[in-house]
A = this chain, B = another copy of it.
């Protein structure tokens, strides 16, 4: 099955580039509400499922024991820019468990934001693991281990008790069977498991609605999603899509990107969640696609619909600020 063209990039009067992809929108019962392309194909959620990976942090009691609020929980679900606030909060989370940056096993990298990278280059000799976009997630992992008296060393390993716990949580939410054959290694060294796109959407719909979840998990899920919606800066950062999508409809939209063109999102009040994958892994296409898909679930005349539709269309300007083309979604997404 060839997935449809979901996003076009224009220049002058012509289409210069095209992105294909698949989209699944599912409710808490697993009912398909909208779809494009092959939604049974397995995709690696990558960072888009960080909120699922953060469930043990709450369910173990670690988050409460260490006094974590919305900011810390948002950072545990984040792919952040490595801005000063992100770095400081990750360090603070570790310190509450009596640890420091040396415990992080995510590796170090410069910020994914050019603006922040320039600031970092001027202030630092080199980035540390605290600057890694996953440092909040990893700080959460280490806190989860420490609170349960599990040795955190090696916590990124497939067989480590924490990863076993995370694997079980994702299996339970998505209904997918996860094992070595569906497992890859993520950028930050933890396991990432390929799951059918529809199952991924269903997992997030369960988190957003609580349907089919035990009370403890339903509460933990709601708390994580509400924390991200309450503190969107800590989920990504200045100028980033996740942050801006959640800021344009405060408390109404949850959105989280993943590498290689994945995006997951939920609209709790509508009882639905979205999972999508751009075939070619392009971030620009995933961002346009998630905004256009979210827009389908808000009234056409509403401010949120207008803001999402605007977000889905990017006017491209060159180094002199001249308009040269647009990134736009196709009619398969807009229905027009």
Contact = CB atoms under 8 A, between A and B. Distances in A.
Given A12-B185, A184-B11, A279 B319 contact: no
A107 B318 contact: yes
Contact of A282 (B114, B280, B325): B280
Contacts of A121: 117-118, 121-122
A205 to B, nearest CB: 24
Interface stretch (A13-21, A218-226, A295-303): A13-21
B185 A322 contact: yes
A320 interface: yes
A16 B106 CA distance: 21
A9 B114 contact: no
Interface residues on A, range: 35 or more
Contacts of A325: 184
Interface string A106-148: 1111100010011001100000000010000000000000000
Interface in A163-200: 181-189, 192, 194
Contacts of A281: 9, 16-17, 282
A19 B185 contact: no
Nearest to A279: B18
Contacts of A260: 9, 16-17
Contacts of A280: 17-20, 279-280, 282, 285
A248 interface: no
A122 B121 CA distance: 6
Q: Could you say which of A110, A184, A282, A285 has the most chain B C-beta atoms within 10 Å of its C-beta?
A: A184
A280 B6 CA distance: 11
Contact of A14 (B42, B110, B324): B42
A187 B107 contact: no
Contacts of A185: 11-12, 318, 322, 324
A126 to B, nearest CB: 10
A331 interface: no
Interface in A20-64: 20, 42-44
A105 interface: yes
Contacts of A279: 17-18, 280
Given A11-B44, A17-B280, A114-B117, A319 B187 contact: yes
Nearest to A12: B184
A313 to B, nearest CB: 17
B319 A189 contact: yes
A232 interface: no
Nearest to A109: B319
A16 B44 contact: yes
A279 B12 CA distance: 17
Contact of A132 (B189, B282, B319): B319
A274 to B, nearest CB: 19
Interface of A: 2, 9, 11-14, 16-20, 42-44, 105-110, 114, 117-118, 121-122, 132, 181-189, 192, 194, 260-261, 278-282, 285, 318-322, 324-325
